[in-house]
C-alpha cells in the first residue's frame, strides 16, 4: 500500500529511477507520458483530445491531464499503490491529485525529489542527444525546460516539503548508486514514526 511520487528537473534520470523504485516497492510505475501514449493509441475520447495538443507540440492542459490521470488511478493494478512520474507538474495539479486520492480514502506516502547541479543535468542532456539522436535535446530547449521546472514544478516541491513528506535524494553520479540511495531514503522515511495528521 505504498503511494509514491518522483519529481526532479529534466535530465535528473527520473524515468530510469521510477522504474527501479517501482520494481523495488512492488508497485506499478505510472508516467504521464505512458498515459498519454496509451490513450492516444487506443483513440479514447480523452486521448483524441490530448493528441490535438501533442501533435501541435503544446502542453496538454491541466483539466485534460487531470482527467487522464484520474482514469488511470481508478484502474485495478494501482489499487494497492503506485509510483507517479511526471504528474503533478503544477500546484493546481497537486491539489487535484489530493482530491483524487482523498476520494478513494488515500494520500501520498512520500515524494522523492532528485537533485543534481544544472551543469551535470546539461551534460547528461548533451550525452543523451548524441547517443539517441534526439533533436529535442538541444541546450536551448533543455534550458527552457529547466526554467519551466524552476517556475512551475518547484512550487510543487515546496508544497510537499511543507507537508513533511518530501524525501530529497542526491541525483548526481552513477544511476545504480542513486537507486540505492533513493531506496534507503524512502524506506527509512516510511519506517519512521509519523505524527498523527
Give catalytic residue positions. 14, 89, 128, 134, 145
Torsion angle defined by CA atoms of residues 183, 31, 141 and 112, in that order, rounded to the nearest 10 degrees: -30
Q: Indicate if the alpha-carbon torsion angle 85, 86, 90, 92 is positive or negative.
A: negative
> Any binding-site annotation on 69?
no
> Any binding-site annotation on 32?
yes
> Any binding-site annotation on 58?
yes
> Any binding-site annotation on 126?
no
> Any binding-site annotation on 173?
yes
d(CA 183, CA 145): 27
> Any binding-site annotation on 87?
yes
* 113 Cβ contact list (under 8 Å, min separation 6): 7, 8, 157, 160, 166, 167, 168, 169
> Any binding-site annotation on 76?
no
> Any binding-site annotation on 151?
no
> Any binding-site annotation on 13?
yes
> Any binding-site annotation on 17?
no
> Any binding-site annotation on 12?
yes
> Any binding-site annotation on 105?
no
Point out the annotated binding site for ATP: 11-16, 128, 173
Point out the annotated binding site for AMP: 32, 37, 58-60, 86-89, 93, 134, 145
Point out the annotated binding site: 11-16, 32, 37, 58-60, 86-89, 93, 128, 134, 145, 173
Amino acid at each position: 500500500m505504498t503511494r509514491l511520487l518522483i519529481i526532479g528537473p529534466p535530465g535528473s534520470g527520473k524515468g530510469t529511477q521510477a522504474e527501479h523504485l517501482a520494481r523495488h516497492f512492488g508497485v506499478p510505475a505510472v508516467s504521464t507520458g505512458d498515459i498519454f501514449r496509451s490513450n492516444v493509441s487506443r483513440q479514447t475520447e480523452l486521448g483524441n483530445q490530448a493528441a490535438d495538443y501533442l501533435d501541435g507540440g503544446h502542453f496538454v492542459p491541466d483539466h485534460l491531464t487531470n482527467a487522464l490521470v484520474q482514469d488511470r488511478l481508478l484502474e485495478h493494478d494501482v489499487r494497492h499503490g503506485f509510483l507517479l512520474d511526471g504528474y503533478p507538474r503544477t500546484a493546481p495539479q497537486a491539489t487535484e491529485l489530493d482530491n483524487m486520492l482523498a476520494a478513494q480514502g488515500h494520500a501520498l506516502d512520500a515524494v522523492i525529489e532528485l537533485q543534481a547541479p544544472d551543469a551535470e543535468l546539461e551534460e547528461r542532456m548533451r550525452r543523451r542527444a548524441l547517443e539517441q539522436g534526439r533533436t529535442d535535446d538541444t541546450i536551448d530547449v533543455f534550458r527552457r525546460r529547466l526554467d519551466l521546472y524552476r517556475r512551475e514544478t518547484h512550487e510543487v516541491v515546496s508544497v510537499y516539503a511543507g507537508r513533511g513528506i518530501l524525501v530529497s535524494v542526491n541525483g548526481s553520479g552513477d544511476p545504480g548508486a542513486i537507486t540505492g540511495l533513493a531506496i534507503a531514503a524512502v524506506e527509512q522515511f516510511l519506517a519512521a514514526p509519523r505524527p498523527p495528521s
